[in-house]
Each structure stands twice: as C-alpha cells, then as structure tokens.
C-alpha cells in the first residue's frame, strides 16, 4: 500500500474501526507522517483489529452520565428555578471529555499513534524550552518569596503524618515544605548549611525531575515527606545519628532524579545510553545518584560543603547505597537481609543500621497505598499511565513487552492487589515488627487498600459475567476525575449523592 492507499483504506473502513499496520516481519508500525515508504517486495499489512470503535471510545457511561445530568438538572430547575453552578461545571467537564474522545489525541492511548520523535530515554543534556524555564523561574520566585516561618505549627505537625495530601500543594509550596523538613530536623545548625545554599539545592532538585506522569517532582516530594513522617513516628532521632537521618532524607529527595519514565528493563532492552553507561547494572538508580552528586558538585548548591571530608565520605557512601537500594530488582535481596536481622536488631550495629536505612527509603518509595484513598488512587492512575506508555512504546519498537505494564493484560485493581499482596504487605509487615507503632499508620491503610481493590476486582468480574463480554481492562473514562471521584464510582453513586460528593 502506498500512503494514499493506506489513508483511502482507512477512510473506507470508516470511523468505527481500529486499524493496525504491520511490516513484513509482523511488527506493529506507528501510523504517522514519518512512516517509511515500502517497496514492491516489502508489503505493509493493514488489519482491522477492532470494529465498533465508537462504542469502545464512547463508553456507555458517558451517555448514561449525560442523561442523568440532564435529568438532575431538570429536577433542580423545578425546585430552585435555575441551573446551579456545580451542574454547569459538571456539564462542561463531561462535554470536554466527549470532545477529547472525539479528537485524535486518544489514539496514543491505544498505541495507534505515537509521536516519539523527541522521546528522551537517555541522559542527554536537558535543554528546556523557554516556557519551561520561565515556569521554573516563577516557581523559584514564589518559593523564595515565601518564608518557612509562614508555615504554621499546624502544617508542620501535619507534615509529619502519612495522611498528608500532596495534591493540595503547589510546587513552590512543596519546596518550602521541604525546607521546613531540613530545618525542623535541625540539619541547618548541625551541618552548618546556609539557608540560601539549601534553597538553591532544593530548587535544582526540583528542576531535575521531569514532567512525566509518575516519576516527577510530586513523587519525589511524597517519598521525602513519607520518610520525614516515618522519622518522627518511629522516633528515629533518638536511635540513629543525625548524619544518618540526613542521608535518608536526602536520598529520598534525590532517589528518582531525571527519571525518563521508562524503567530499567526498557533501558536494557532498548540499549539506551544509560544502559550502555552503567553496563545494564541498575542504570536508572546509578543515574539518579550521579545527577544528585552533580547538583551537589556546584558550590552554590552544596549543602555538604561545610562538613569534614570524613563526614562527606560517609554521606556520599550512604546515599549511594540507599538510592541504589530502590532498584526493585533487588527487593527480595534487601528484604531478606532485613528479615534475618530484625529479631536481633541493634541500632548501634553499623551493618544493621545500613540495612534499616535502605528499608526505610524503599518503604517511603512505594508508600502511596499507605495514604488515604483519595490521595493514593490518583497516584495509581499516574503510574498506570507511565506503565502503559512504556508498553505501547515497547510494542511499537518491537521490544519485549513488560507484562505488568501491558494495557492488554493488567487492570487497575489486579495491578494493585498483586502489588499489595506480594510487595507491600511483606515489606511493611517486617518494618512494623521493628516499630509496632507503624501498624496503624502504614500497615492498616494498606490492608484497607487491598480490600478496596479486591472489591473493585470482584465488581469488574461480576459486571463482565452479567454482560457476557470482556470489559476493557482499563477504560479511558476511568481516568476522568470529577471532584476526586472516578467515573466508575460516580456511576455507582445515586444522583442525590452526586451533588454531595462532587464538591
């Protein structure tokens, strides 16, 4: 097929069909303007992979929702004589969602079109566009204009709790809160850190996180805040040296610096610059750590500059160990070490302390489900978006597809029930044995999350059985949030409840 034929064929198939294009070896090709020409003896194969496109992209829920909104509006008008603002807002959200589905943007969701021309999967020097730079400078100005003294006692206390809601805070405010963490742990006095240097360091850290769905600055903030909360909850200040606390908090802060949104498996399979540079050994974690020390190598950002060389060496060694420990490929190795030590744990033993510090960073890194559901669930949507993006790219490039990232294999609840059962609970249970006070703060919320996602999984299966069809594993619509309530939850709530949950 020549390109014109291709588009003619697509037009003939009509808008209700999904087409996929394959090369002679059976690889799915990206239908995009950069498509290479084929020759007479290398045919492209065009296949209709799904019909009734409209019903996939226009979930019945959307019609249902519009109908119910209309119904609700007429009832409210009968009572109060006009359409309340909240209903107008909902109508415009539903309308904008419909427009999104009708446009071509959603095609990238389905792995059909993907502009991966400037995809950054290697640590090339970052040359942000002016607008990004401007945005950052605005954040910097706002951050520097706020004083940590403005942060009230109430917020300082709340900052120590795992129920802290990151979604309520802007980036500049998060930077101030990070500054509060360093000051309230007395790091500035203990390590002679000048406030201006701390602010420069925090700002540079912020600039070195990418705007990607999950491994972004907000994730860095959440992990650091959880670490901070754990330090207070477990009273670690009385058990470890302040230098170890500095290592743990700074490792949490730096642990995903310049994450490109594609994991180690991808780096290795795609033979990216990172994989080449680090010989396939934890390429990402090595990179995060190297970026951290790159930032610290600038004198104006070097919060460690007033330390003795021995202290510096200790901190550098500790941070390298903690950041490299976040590679999930080493999860069992590290957890098993901790399991052996836990019954005889000794806070004065150097090796014991080292394993505990790694465990604390790991727990903080994967602690979203320990937070209230309204905070945790949007994080899962972000993670799945990054996962699906990776598996779509893997399919397009003909690389092995990472199974737990494959939109054709995982559903939102199944991804979570497995992760909670096999990763979170074993890890959190072990830490709780050493610090029983953590049970209510991290273990119980995770157990509740497991029930929540098991219920969601059951409901999905029942719906499938009722309808006798396979439900799409992860519907586009599930991502639309209306006042923090997912469409699916919304569908299940009564119209009267709707007005109360949406605000």
As annotated, the binding site includes: 215-219, 255-256, 365, 416
Strand, helix or coil for residue 18: strand
Q: Alpha-carbon distance 460 to 454, whole Å?
A: 10
Q: Which residue, 97 or 221, is less far from Zn ion as judged by CB?
A: 221
- Residue 256 interacting with Zn ion (CB under 5 A): yes
Instruction: Kindly tell me which residue out of 285, 365, 386, 392 binds Zn ion, with binding defined by CB under 5 A.
Output: 365
State the burial class of residue 372 (Cβ atoms within 10 Å of its Cβ: 0-12, 13-18, 19+). middle
The residues, ordered by sequence, that sit 6+ positions from 440 with a Cβ below 8 Å of its Cβ are none
In the block, which residue shows the tokens 């701390």?
198
Both tokens assigned to 208: 């070195």
- Residue 267 interacting with ligand PCG (CB under 6 A): no
Tell me how long the chain is. Answer: 503
Instruction: Kindly tell me which residue out of 62, 240, 366, 431 binds ligand PCG, with binding defined by CB under 6 A.
Output: 366
- Residue 204 interacting with Zn ion (CB under 5 A): no
53 touches 15 (CB < 8 A): yes
Q: Which of 215, 259, 287, 288 is catalytic?
A: 215
State the burial class of residue 78 (Cβ atoms within 10 Å of its Cβ: 0-12, 13-18, 19+). exposed
Residue 415 contact among ligand PCG, Zn ion, none, beta carbon within 5 to 8 Å by kind:
ligand PCG
- Residue 419 interacting with ligand PCG (CB under 6 A): yes
Binding mask 176-215 for ligand PCG (x = CB under 6 A): ---------------------------------------x
Nearest to 18 by CA among 101, 107, 116, 115: 107
- Residue 365 interacting with ligand PCG (CB under 6 A): yes
Instruction: Kindly tell me which residue out of 171, 204, 369, 377 binds ligand PCG, with binding defined by CB under 6 A.
Output: 369
CA dihedral over 131, 133, 136, 138, signed as positive or negative: negative
Instruction: Kindly tell me which residue out of 263, 282, 417, 432 binds ligand PCG, with binding defined by CB under 6 A.
Output: 263
In the block, which residue shows the tokens 């559901």?
373
Q: Alpha-carbon distance 95 to 384, whole Å?
A: 25
CA atoms within 13 A on the CB side of 128: 14
Q: At closest approach, how far in Å is the CB of 222 from Zn ion? A: 9
Question: At how many degrees (to 10) do helices 242-254 and 350-365 cross?
Answer: 30
Residue 371 contact among ligand PCG, Zn ion, none, beta carbon within 5 to 8 Å by kind:
none
- Residue 327 interacting with Zn ion (CB under 5 A): no
Q: At closest approach, how far in Å is the CB of 256 from Zn ion? A: 4
- Residue 415 interacting with ligand PCG (CB under 6 A): yes
- Residue 285 interacting with Zn ion (CB under 5 A): no
DSSP letters along 113-137, please? ----TT---S-PPP---HHHHHHHH
Q: Which residue, 159 or 366, is less far from ligand PCG as judged by CB?
A: 366
13 touches 34 (CB < 8 A): no
286 touches 324 (CB < 8 A): yes
Could you tell me whether strands 45-50 and 18-22 are parallel, antiparallel, or unpaired per DSSP bridges?
antiparallel
Q: Which residue, 311 or 385, is less far from ligand PCG as judged by CB?
A: 385
Residue 263 contact among Zn ion, ligand PCG, none, beta carbon within 5 to 8 Å by kind:
ligand PCG
Q: Dihedral of the CA atoms 90, 91, 95, 96 (nearest 10)?
A: -30
Q: At closest approach, how far in Å is the CB of 477 from ligand PCG? A: 21
Stretch that binds Zn ion, among 114-122, 256-264, 307-315, 460-468 (CB under 5 A): 256-264
Stretch that binds ligand PCG, among 62-70, 88-96, 388-396, 411-419 (CB under 6 A): 411-419
Active site residue 158: no
Q: At closest approach, how far in Å is the CB of 123 from ligand PCG? A: 16
- Residue 244 interacting with ligand PCG (CB under 6 A): no
The residues, ordered by sequence, that sit 6+ positions from 165 with a Cβ below 8 Å of its Cβ are 371, 372, 374, 375
Q: Which residue, 183 or 415, is less far from ligand PCG as judged by CB?
A: 415
- Residue 380 interacting with ligand PCG (CB under 6 A): yes
**Which residues are annotated as part of the binding site for Zn(2+)?**
219, 255-256, 365
- Residue 414 interacting with ligand PCG (CB under 6 A): no
Stretch that binds Zn ion, among 82-90, 128-136, 365-373, 400-408 (CB under 5 A): 365-373
Q: Alpha-carbon distance 168 to 174, whole Å?
A: 10
- Which residues are the active-site residues? 215
**List of residues contacting ligand PCG (CB under 6 A):** 215, 263, 326, 328, 365-366, 368-369, 380, 383, 415-416, 419
**List of residues contacting Zn ion (CB under 5 A):** 256, 365
């Amino acid at each position: 097929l020549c390109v014109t034929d291709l588009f003619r064929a697509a037009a003939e198939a009509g808008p209700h069909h999904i087409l996929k294009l394959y090369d002679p070896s059976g690889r799915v090709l990206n239908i995009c303007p950069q498509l290479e020409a084929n020759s007479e003896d290398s045919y492209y194969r065009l296949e209709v992979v799904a019909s009734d496109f409209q019903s996939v992209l226009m979930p019945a829920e959307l019609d249902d929702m519009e109908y119910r909104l209309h119904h609700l509006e007429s009832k409210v008008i009968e009572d109060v004589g006009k359409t309340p603002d909240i209903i107008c807002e909902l109508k415009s959200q539903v309308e904008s969602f419909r427009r999104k589905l009708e446009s071509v943007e959603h095609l990238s969701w389905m792995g059909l079109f993907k502009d991966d021309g400037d995809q950054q999967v290697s640590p090339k020097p970052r040359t942000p566009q002016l607008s990004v730079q401007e945005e950052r400078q605005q954040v910097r100005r706002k951050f520097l204009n706020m004083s940590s003294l403005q942060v009230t006692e109430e917020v300082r206390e709340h900052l120590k709790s795992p129920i802290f809601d990151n979604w309520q805070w802007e980036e500049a405010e998060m930077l101030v809160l990070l500054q509060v963490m360093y000051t309230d742990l007395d790091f500035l006095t203990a390590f002679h850190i000048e406030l201006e240097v701390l602010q420069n360091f925090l700002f540079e850290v912020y600039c070195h996180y990418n705007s990607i769905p999950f491994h972004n600055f907000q994730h860095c903030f959440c992990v650091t805040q959880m670490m901070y909360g754990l330090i207070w909850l477990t009273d670690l200040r009385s058990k470890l040296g302040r230098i170890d606390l500095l290592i743990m908090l700074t490792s949490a802060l730096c642990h995903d610096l310049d994450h490109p949104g594609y994991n180690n498996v991808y780096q290795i399979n795609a033979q990216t610059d990172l994989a080449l540079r680090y010989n396939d050994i934890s390429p990402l974690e090595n990179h995060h750590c190297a970026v951290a020390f790159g930032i610290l190598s600038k004198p104006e950002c070097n919060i460690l500059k007033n330390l003795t060389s021995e202290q510096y060496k200790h901190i550098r060694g500790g941070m390298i160990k903690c950041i490299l420990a976040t590679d999930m490929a080493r999860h069992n190795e590290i957890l098993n070490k901790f399991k052996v030590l836990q019954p005889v744990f000794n806070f004065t033993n150097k090796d014991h302390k080292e394993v505990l510090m790694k465990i604390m960073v790991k727990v903080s890194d994967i602690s979203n489900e320990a937070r209230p559901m309204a905070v945790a669930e949007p994080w899962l949507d972000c993670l799945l978006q990054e996962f699906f993006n990776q598996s779509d790219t893997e399919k397009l490039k003909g690389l092995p597809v990472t199974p737990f990232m494959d939109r054709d294999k995982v559903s939102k609840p199944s991804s979570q029930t497995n992760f909670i059962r096999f990763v979170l609970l074993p890890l959190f249970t072990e830490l709780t044995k050493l610090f029983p006070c953590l049970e209510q703060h991290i273990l119980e919320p995770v157990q509740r999350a497991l029930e929540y996602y098991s219920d969601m999984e059951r409901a999905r299966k029942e719906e499938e059985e009722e309808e006798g069809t396979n439900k799409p594993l992860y519907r586009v619509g599930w991502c639309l949030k209306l006042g923090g309530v997912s469409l699916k939850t919304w569908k299940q709530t009564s119209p009267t409840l709707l007005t109360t949950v949406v605000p």
